[in-house]
Amino acid sequence: MEKTTFKTTINAPREKVWDVLWGETSYQQWTAPFAEGSQVDTNWEKGSKVIFHDGSNRGMVARIADKVPNEFMSFQHLGEIDNGVEDLTSDKVKAWAGAYENYTLTNVNGKTELLVEMDLADDFKDYFTKTWPVALDKVKELAEQQ
């Protein structure tokens, strides 16, 4: 796997960007480019389980590896869900299990820089290289409203 980064600068405070990233309604909006109907089930506490899903019994299983409110969120991917069944042990999952997805928010000249770092397998690099900029544009749009 290769660590890949995506970045945008948003004219809004970190707290607002954080709320957009992890807010129930806004999360669904900015993650729609990855999968229409995207949802997340978690209590957002460090160490807790996270289910990222698309509403059709498919998705990913992760855990919150680290969390510093308004500054940093780290997910460790553990497996996938297919037909509502968690898979944490198949060879397919073992090929990328343990990959991290990190979000860092930094103040830069009164704006917020959002840096997303992902461990990516080669098969998904093209997909995420095309999709992340669209998702980040939506985060920016939502955070800069009002």
For the chain, first and last CA: distance in Å? 39
- For residue 121, pLDDT beyond 80: no
CA distance 19 to 31: 14
- Residue-wise pLDDT tens digits, 85-111: 899 988 888 888 889 999 999 999 999
- Residue-wise pLDDT tens digits, 44-86: 999 999 999 887 888 999 999 999 999 999 999 999 998 888 9
- Residue-wise pLDDT tens digits, 78-87: 999 988 889 9
Query: Which residues in 14-47 are b (16+ Cβ under 10 Å) and which e?
Result: bebbbbbbbeeebbebbbebebeebebeeeeeee
Band (33; pLDDT cuts 50, 70, 90): very high
Confidence (pTM): 0.92
Query: Given this model, what pLDDT does residue 146 score?
Result: 57
Q: How far is CA 22 from CA 43, 47, 84, in A?
A: 11, 16, 23
